[in-house]
Structure 1
Amino acid sequence: MGRVVLFEMNSQDPERASNFYSSVFGWKIAEPNWGYHSVTTGDDAKSGINGGISKGPNDYPHGIRVQIEVDDIDTAIAKSVEAGAQIVRDKMDFDGFYLAYLVDPVGNGIGLIQNK
């Protein structure tokens, strides 16, 4: 079963967004790494879904995407497209994982992530 493992919040002003969520909700926001601010929304006593805030790219300038962990990203992409999704960014290879961005049939942005 695919499970939501993190979120990505895209903004054209990630510093301002980071300051907002940190001051209002107490999120712990790390210094940016490659323009990506890692976000921790919980702690050992009460967990949360973690994620990140970054400057949104041209194909997704602002909004929130959930990342769904899958066992086989190629199969998940194929099944998604067959069910009506569109690929925004096909499978990308990072050091410890593969990642792809899609838009579901009703317009929601999602990410698929497979750990190596």
Structure 2
Amino acid sequence: MGRVVSFEMSSQDPKKAAAFYSEVFGWKVSEPQWDYWGVNTGSKEKPGVDGGVALGPSDYPHGTRIQIEVDSIDNALLKAKGNGAQVAREKMEFADFYLAYLVDPVGIGFGLIERKS
């Protein structure tokens, strides 16, 4: 079963957006890396779903996407495309995980993430 493990908020002013959520909701914001401000929304006693605020790309300048963790990003991409999804960003490799962005058949954007072993 795919679990929602993270979120990403896109903004054309991510520094300002991160400051807003920190002030209003008490989210802990990390130092930015590559125009991405990681956020922690909970504590050890009361966990939350962590994510980040990023500089939105031209095709997704504003909005929020959930990240769904899967065992195999390649299999999930094939299954999603076979069921009407469009791939917005093909599989990308990072140090600890793979990531891809899709749009479902009704226009909702989301991410797929596969952690490396």
For residues 7-45 of structure 1, the C-alpha deviation after alignment (integer angstroms, 9 at most, x for no partner) is 000000111111110111000011101111010000011
Query: How many angstroms does 1:75 deviate by?
Result: 0.6
The amino acid that maps onto 2:103 is V
Query: How many angstroms does 1:72 deviate by?
Result: 0.5
Q: Which runs of 5+ in 1 are unaligned?
A: none
How large is the RMSD of aligned CA atoms in angstroms?
A: 0.6
The answer to whether residue 94 in structure 2 is matched with residue 100 in structure 1 is no
Q: Which runs of 5+ in 2 are unaligned?
A: none
Match of 1:20, SS? helix
Q: Which residue of 1 aligns with 2:46?
A: 46
Q: TM-score of the superposition, structure 2-length normalised? A: 0.97
Q: Which residue of 2 aligns with 1:62?
A: 62
How far apart are the structure 2 equivalents of 1:75 and 1:45?
35
Percentage of pairs with the same residue: 62
Query: How many angstroms does 1:96 deviate by?
Result: 1.0
How far apart are the structure 1 equivalents of 2:77 and 2:6?
18
Q: TM-score of the superposition, structure 1-length normalised? A: 0.98
Match of 2:18, SS? helix
How far apart are the structure 1 equivalents of 2:105 and 2:28?
33
For residues 84-111 of structure 1, the C-alpha deviation after alignment (integer angstroms, 9 at most, x for no partner) is 1100001111111111000011111100
Q: Which residue of 2 aligns with 1:77?
A: 77
How far apart are the structure 1 equivalents of 2:44 and 2:96?
24
